[in-house]
Amino acid sequence: MPKTNSFFAVDLGATSGRTIVGHLTDGKITLEELTRFDNRLIQTGGHVYWDIFALYDEVIRGLQKAAQRGINLMSIGIDTWGVDFVFVGDDGAILRNPLSYRDPHTVGVMDEYLRDVKPRQDVYHITGIQFMNFNSLFQLYAMRKADNSALRQASKILFMPDALSYMLTGEMVCEYTIASTSQMLNPRTRALDDSLLDSVGLNRNHFGRDVNPGTVIGTLTPEVQRLTGLGALPVVAVAGHDTASAVAAVPARDSGFAYLSSGTWSLMGVETPEPVICDRSYELNFTNEGGVEGTTRFLKNICGMWLYERSRKELPDAPASHSELLAEMVKQQAFRSLINPDDPVFANPPSMVTAIQDYCRHTQQPVPEDYAQICRCIFDSLALRYREVFTRLKEFAPFDIDVLHIIGGGSLNQYLNQFTANALGIEVLAGPQEATALGNIMLQARAAGEVSDIWQMRRIIADSITLRRFTPANLQEWDMAYEKYQSIVNLSSQ
């Protein structure tokens, strides 16, 4: 009879979360969703918080359901978004719900820190992390300036997945991939940097013990065992940053690949054995985040389907069906109107449709009027922006890139996948959609000794899913479109 090993994954995003069980049987992995829930922000006192206790309660609910179903779990792993953290007092109690990266307290603070405390180039050459005002370094600086009482009383600071693992086990850790998003970690030493910690009034003792992905943190506390009906299950530090877990699930056969984690936001990068930190990467604002087995995720954040999602809500005449809308979109004239999806005007405008139309007027292009033209503008422009980032990425990759793997929800978008293959001029392999959960679960399997390394993990995933293949076409047409795109981007900046 085939042997099945089951693993419990908690996958938390900035708007929702899920608990999922992965079943590993005879070299194949299948997923079973147990619960799904909202991750709601709390606004009070002029600040925006996450509800860490509600998230913990949802984890407990998922574990209870697994116990009621009689699923024989081997371990538990948690992944979340990056940069945010929880304060713990010297009595072990969580001091306050954690501030969200969406809180306005960091507005203008990054520029102040880089002007008055540590120069921008120095910070980049220590961390290799792209600059965003909500990075942990700048959040902590803002809190220190505001004399935040929770920070003042904090004995320990735990990043979000580590905080939830602490609530399950009583053990405090600082997992490598999630810490790498903070802009306080040196990827060369793989440790938090003393000078950056000191700049915000902290030291290494304020954080848990360092652990790498695939490390067993501890077991469920007696309290959690009573609440869930489970035994002393191991809790594993997976790749705590959700994108790190997703990249671990890229079903590649060898190292010569790039990846595009495609969803509301996109991340394009390569997996390198060492960080890539130099004047050129600083100029282009590429980032170096922690990966599995000592690798670095060298990548660029790109606007993704955010443009489409926002625009669709403003287009009452558009078909309700996503597939019908895209079928109408693809019939439109290609490259009639183009935008730079990462232009600041598209960050969070009152009207995305108006922002797109104004951009086209400013750059002296035909203005897209109906839903099909607007969507065609977005899809063409996203594919050309991917080409722009991919072209720069190839400057740094220590190998020839012969395939792009698209993972995440966007891997289901056949039109954008084909446009991307055309624009980049290389083969695109799309899938899996559930990359983050798969990476989380396979890292637990590695901790349990069921797989030996990341390449065996990837082989199992590749053998368990159906990849969709997109071959580049119309290359000359897309080359000409890219020249037009570059001219428009240059004109828009004037």
Give the active site residues: 242
Q: Can you tell me the distance from the alpha carbon of 146 to that of 45, in angstroms, rounded to the nearest whole number?
A: 14
CB burial string 266-290: b at 16+ within 10 A, e below: bbbbbbbeebbbeeebbeeebbbbb
Unique residue bearing structure tokens 């995933």:
461
Helix 414-424 crosses helix 371-396 at what angle (to 10 degrees)? 50
* Distance of alpha carbon 75 from alpha carbon 62, whole angstroms: 13
Among 412, 424, 415, CA closest to 472: 424
| Measured distance CA(292)–CA(124) in Å, rounded | 22
Strand partners, 38: 16
The Cα–Cα gap between 236 and 214 comes to 6
Distance of CA 455 to the CA centre of its chain: 21
- Distance, in Å, from the CA atom of 463 to the CA atom of 298, rounded to the nearest integer, reads 26
What's the DSSP call for residue 155? Answer: S
In degrees to the nearest 10, what's the CA dihedral of 236, 290, 467, 253?
-100
Q: Using only the alpha carbons of the chain, give its radius of gyration.
A: 23
Please list, in sequence order, all residues whose beta carbon lies within 8 angstroms of the beta carbon of residue 297, skipping any fewer than 6 positions away. 243, 244, 247, 269, 271, 288, 289, 290, 291
The answer to whether 69 and 228 are in contact (CB under 8 A) is no
Residue with tokens 């954690």: 98
Which residue in this structure is represented by tokens 């056949």? 414
Dihedrals phi, psi of 135, to nearest 5 degrees: -55, 150
Q: What would the two tokens of residue 41 be?
A: 């922000």
Q: Given its phi and psi angles, is residue 47 left (phi above 0), alpha (psi -120 to 50 degrees) or beta?
A: beta
Cα angle, residue 347 at apex, residues 127 and 40 outer, rounded to 5°: 85
- What distances in angstroms separate CA 225 from CA 25, 59, 308, 390, one per listed residue? 26, 13, 44, 48
Task: Output the six-digit token pair for 391.
Answer: 């072209």
DSSP per-residue letters across 255-287:
S-EEEEEESSEEEEEEEESS---SHHHHHHT-E
